[in-house]
């Protein structure tokens, strides 16, 4: 039974690793140039602090996930990983929220602040950002499932529950 738990945990972590790496790669390679009224501007992920935060947070979670896959389940640090999994899920959620807020403004604009939408001028940029956010959402959902499963795996022997 312990082997089954380990396999499920590794599979969830591999899925999360794939989603976070995909989100980082897509966001970092996102750039487009547009001409508006004879002015040239470049849309890149690093023009916005929220997108930078998203990339950094996803990269941190990717590194943590890789370390967690390598770490043995017999280690004493494995129980600490439940707490770290919750922290990583919160980090993913906060970074996606920040990036999604900026993406929404880029798509819809804000008439009260006088900000115009930019997705009409740089559609490829917006499409790639959307793809990166979808991968980030997938990683966050996987991490939520991982948190629930890890919590169950750690608490069930303590409570005397037979899975």
Residue (of 95, 89, 70) closest to 150 by Cα position: 89
Using CB atoms within 10 Å of the CB of residue 50, give its burial: 0 to 12 exposed, 13 to 18 middle, 19+ buried. middle
* pLDDT by residue, tens only, the chain of 163 residues: 567 877 888 899 999 999 999 999 999 998 888 777 787 878 888 889 999 999 999 999 999 999 988 876 666 677 788 888 899 999 999 999 999 999 999 888 888 887 888 888 888 989 999 999 999 999 999 999 998 887 776 676 665 555 5
pLDDT of residue 72: 64
pLDDT of residue 160: 58
Domain ranges of the chain: 1-29+47-157
Residues 6 or more apart whose Cβ sits within 8 Å of residue 127: none
pLDDT of residue 18: 96
Neighbours of 118 (CB within 10 A): 19
CA distance 137 to 141: 6
- Cα–Cα distances (Å) from 16 to 48, 94, 115, 144, in that order, read 25, 16, 35, 10
Q: What is the pTM of this model?
A: 0.86
């Amino acid at each position: 039974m312990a082997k089954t738990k380990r396999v499920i945990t590794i599979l969830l972590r591999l899925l999360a690793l794939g989603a976070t790496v995909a989100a980082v790669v897509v966001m970092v390679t996102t750039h487009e140039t547009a001409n508006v009224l004879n002015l040239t501007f470049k849309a890149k992920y690093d023009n916005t602090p929220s997108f930078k935060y998203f990339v950094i947070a996803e990269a941190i979670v990717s590194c943590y996930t890789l370390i967690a896959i390598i770490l043995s389940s017999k280690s004493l640090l494995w129980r600490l990983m439940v707490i770290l999994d919750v922290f990583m899920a919160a980090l993913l959620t906060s970074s996606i929220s920040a990036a999604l807020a900026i993406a929404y403004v880029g798509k819809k604009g804000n008439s009260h602040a006088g900000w115009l939408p930019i997705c009409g001028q740089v559609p490829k940029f917006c499409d790639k950002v959307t793809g990166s956010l979808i991968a980030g959402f997938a990683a966050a959902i996987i991490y939520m499932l991982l948190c629930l499963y890890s919590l169950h795996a750690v608490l069930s022997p303590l409570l005397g529950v037979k899975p």
